[in-house]
Amino acid sequence: MKRVVVFAALLAALGACDRAPPSGDRPGGAPGGPATVHPAGSGSAGSSGSAAGSGSAVAPARTPIARPLLWAVEKAGRTTYFFGTMHVGIDAATQLPPIVWATLHGAPVFAMEANLEDPHIAEMIKPTTSSLHAALGEAYWKQLEDALGATVAAAVDKMPPMIPATLLTLKGLPPTLPMDKALATRATDEHKPIVFLEPAARQIELLGKWMDIKAIKLILDELPDAQQRAHAMLEAYAAGDERQIIATNDADRIDALHHGYTKAEYDREMTDLLYDRNASWIPELEQLHAAGGGFVAVGALHLIGPRSVLDLLAHKGYKVTRLAP
């Protein structure tokens, strides 16, 4: 489901969704209040009592990925490697095959979407004076309580809509450490220079623009189907099946058009969240390649299909080759 997966990917990549129980349920946490959902960036696999509701998330599949979304991109005698991540739901430590870690180890530079440790993230996601309850109305508020639990719903009532919207998109997914964070940690441990392709502020601005009250209502209306597609997306990713990833995500367009979005709105949203970002990364990526190449880890949807990063580079004369273990 392209629309929802892109949403979840953006915020998970920033590490901005804790997915832990409300702070009033944790030692040292303040009871109640909007601060119970905050940009912590942990997303640890141990947080099985997630903000999406206890028992809502399935245990992470531990089957190693046989065919990772890994490409070699060559030009002028240099090679840059591109790896498509699944920001949440796949356990990097147990599922990524040796070829991914070996390729990362051999690369001189590591590049990723944005800085997961940006200290300004918390400042960009502040409580508001508006009530989510009032904006949604009683019927949708009840749906939100049913989906997230009354305690978490109360905690996000005065938070920007992007917070509850993202919690909804993550509902039912295995609560894993964001893959991007695991890869960045390994790169840092190996003392590699790290390149960020865009500021964290840009991702937060896009989330604020598109993850609004209308988006929450859409997600609530299609929640059961969305969860099924999320599981199908994990299976397609684990299988390394590019076509199935696209097919699974494309079902979102039909849902969006059936729930009040126009074609123009949907296309504009995808341009903002996916295609314009892909294009904006190309100059930085070409500079990285010219300097000797590296290992680039971005959400899988940025590397697959027309107008993807790899498609844009191919049109600029780079040789793009899918690698297999």
In 3D, which of 7, 15, 8, 3 has the Cα closest to residue 178? 15
Cα distances (Å, whole numbers) of residue 251 to 222, 232, 248: 11, 12, 6
125 pLDDT higher than 60? yes
* Residue 17 vs residue 213, higher pLDDT: 213
Give the pairing type, strands 295-299 and 78-85.
parallel
Asked whether residue 302 is assigned to any structural domain, the reply reads yes
Q: State in Å, rounded, how far the first CA of the chain is from the last one.
A: 28
Which tokens sit at 135? 């904006």
Helices (H), 211-308: 213-221, 223-239, 242-258, 263-270, 276-290
User: CA neighbours within 13 Å on the CB side: how many for 112?
Assistant: 30
- For 48-86, how does the pLDDT look when each residue is reduced to its tens digit (9 = 90+)? 333 333 334 444 446 789 899 999 999 999 999 999 998
Q: Is residue 36 part of a domain?
A: no
The structure's pTM equals: 0.82
Q: What is the mean pLDDT of residues 114-131?
A: 81
Is 48 within a domain?
Answer: no
Q: Residues 283-312: what's their mean pLDDT? A: 96
| DSSP label at residue 103 | H
Q: How far is CA 279 from CA 137, 191, 310, in A?
A: 39, 29, 10
Whether 187 maps to a domain, the answer reads yes
Q: Place 47 in a pLDDT band, splitting at 50, 70 and 90.
A: very low
pLDDT at 254: 66
If one counts the domains in the chain, the total is: 1
Question: Which residue has 């969305």 as its token pair?
Answer: 226
Residue 89 is assigned to a structural domain of this protein: yes
- Determine, yes or no, domain membership for 286: yes
Q: pLDDT: is 293 or 40 the higher one?
A: 293
Segment 200-206 shows an average pLDDT of: 83
Is 87 domain-assigned?
yes
Residue 268's Cβ-count burial label (10 Å; 0-12, 13-18, 19+) is middle
Rounded Cα gap, residues 61 and 90, in angstroms? 7
Q: Is residue 39 part of a domain?
A: no
Using the Cα atoms of residue 122, residue 5, residue 100 and residue 81 in order, give the sign of their dihedral. Answer: negative
pLDDT in tens, 212-237: 998 899 889 888 887 888 888 888 99
pLDDT, tens digit, for every residue of 313-322? 999 999 999 9
Lowest average pLDDT, out of 1-15, 82-96, 275-289, goes to 1-15
The pLDDT of residue 28 is above 50: no
C-alpha to C-alpha distance for 271 and 237, rounded to whole angstroms: 23
Under the banding of pLDDT at 50, 70 and 90, the label for residue 35 is very low
pLDDT, averaged across the chain: 80
**Domain housing 237:** 2-30+62-322
Confidence band for 167, pLDDT divided at 50, 70 and 90: confident
- At 46, the pLDDT band (50, 70, 90 cuts) reads very low
